[in-house]
Amino acid sequence: MPLYADSHSLIRSNLQLIACGERPKVVPIGKLTALQHAAINAQRLTEGRPPLMDAEILFLGKHLFNSRHADGYSIDDMVAQIDSALSAQSEVLPTKKMSALCNPHRRADGYGNHVNDVAVLELSARRPKAELFSTIPRGDLIKPA
């Protein structure tokens, strides 16, 4: 299970602090599965980058909040996106621009879309751990009002 049991409340708390103009603390919210961790490290190895040493995922949330809030998403929507994108079923996306996980199972987003949630990870700023930098609800053609 990638997300820790108390992660939803930690994520929600950080996002609410950001919404109020405050600065939250970086918090651990989960761990990559062994398969996800190995796939990320295999991708990094082919790019000549050092491996991700720790499978734990940290969360601050500022970029994620600003990006998804600009699209009209609520904090509840953001928590759902994170939960989906960081699921045990999520697969590593092979890309040279970023390290990302994508849930291959579509989720009804409540706005008439069925999306594949993508988690974008930052792997160098908080070494040896990954930080959840953002989420992308792929396929959200109908944005919140």
For residue 107, give both structure tokens.
């989720």
Q: What is the DSSP string of 59-82?
A: E--HHHHHHHHHTT--HHHHHHHH
Rounded distance between C-alpha atoms, residue 29 and residue 19, angstroms? 19
Residue with tokens 């953001």: 78
Residue 1, pLDDT score: 60
Counting beta carbons within 10 angstroms of the beta carbon of residue 81, is it exposed (0 to 12), middle (13 to 18) or buried (19 or more)?
A: buried
pLDDT by position in tens, the chain (length 145) = 689 999 999 999 999 999 999 999 999 999 999 999 999 999 999 988 899 999 999 999 999 999 999 999 999 999 999 999 999 999 999 787 889 999 999 999 999 999 999 999 999 877 789 999 999 999 999 999 7
Report pTM. 0.95
**The token pair that represents 51 in the structure block:** 């491996």
Rounded Cα gap, residues 66 and 128, in angstroms: 25
The angle, 0 to 180 degrees and rounded to 10, between the axes of the packed helices 7-19 and 62-70 is 70
pLDDT of residue 8: 97
The answer to whether the CB of 85 falls within 8 A of the CB of 102 is yes
Give the span between the Cα atoms of 13 and 18, in whole angstroms.
9
